[in-house]
Structure formats: structure tokens, C-alpha cells
Amino acid sequence: MCFIKNNILIILCCGFMFTNIKSQGQTNVGKTIVWVVRHAEMDSKIVNNPNPNLSKEGKRRSAALADYFKMIRIDGIFTTSSTVTQKTAEHLFVKYKSLPILYDGKDLPSLVNKITNEYKGKTVLVVTNLTNMLALVDAFGADRPIPKLRENDYNFLFKINILPNDDVYTEMDQYEAGHHDGEE
């Protein structure tokens, strides 16, 4: 009987330690994380549409983006006022029962200032356009994880990590098929 009690105690202790280690790995501990993603593909059926919706492929990619973040807590989702940036994050708005935090895509310094001051130690997602993806990495003072992006690059995610001592580094991932190697 004593043997069984000891084993149960050991199992419970190991389970507690595993849970504690796992939860520690998921906290930022003062680090600010800024995920940057390009909006999904636009519907180009209507010519000269200044504010297009997502195409069928874009809607599928939007769902894939939400799937990528299913285990990652997002404290704020930044988009421009454009339909494509907001629709790209639509599934995440539903998940977090939140609204987009609007920013001016022509004023990246203000966005950087808002995130570094109001979201310090938190995790945010910024949905932007092709031009601003690498410009945001630059604006946060991080090294570019890739020298340039092409028009058909929709699936890159940049993770800008801002440490408590203000050191910054960038990681890159792809959340879905769609990078067209060999095409220019």
C-alpha cells in the first residue's frame, strides 16, 4: 500500500512540474512580441475597386492564419481601415471577441510607439500590406529575416521579439503553402 501511495505522489509531483514548466514556456516574461503578416489575397474581379474584399484563396488563407495562432495568445490585433487587412484577421477577431485596433499604414513610427508603450510585455499581431512588412521590421530596429518579398508572397510571418533590455531580433515562419519558389 505504501508503494502505491509513493508512486501516486511521484506521479502527481511530476505532473505538477511538467505543467509548471509548460506554462513557463508560454509566457513572455517582459518580452514584447509583434507578429507581422501580410493581408491575404484580394478579390480582383471588380476592376478599380479601392477597397476590395478577400478572394476565395484569401478567405482560405485567413482561416489558415487563425489556425496558426490557435495556441498563441494575442493581446491586440492591429489593422488598417482596409477591408483586406480586417478580413485577413476576421477569424481572430471572433476568437478573441475583439475589434481591430486601427493604425495608419503611412505612419509606422506611431504604430511602433503605440505597441512599445501600450503593449509592452504583450503579444500583438499587425496585419499590413506587402510594402510595410519589411518596413515594420526596420521601424522596430530589427534585422530583416529576408532581403525582400515578392508580390506573390502571402504566407510569411515575421515575429519581432523586443526584450526587456530593448534588444530586438526577428524570426520568420510560413503559416501555409503559398510561397512560390522559382517565380519572380
Burial class (CB within 10 angstroms; exposed 0-12, middle 13-18, buried 19+) of 159:
middle
Statement: residue 23 has pLDDT above 80: no
**Terminal alpha carbon distance of the chain:** 71
Digit-coded pLDDT (tens) for 131-171: 999 999 999 999 999 999 999 999 999 999 999 999 999 99
User: Distance between CA 171 and CA 143 in Å, rounded?
Assistant: 9
Digit-coded pLDDT (tens) for 28-77: 679 999 999 999 999 988 778 889 999 999 999 999 999 999 999 999 99
User: Distance between CA 171 and CA 35 in Å, rounded?
Assistant: 9
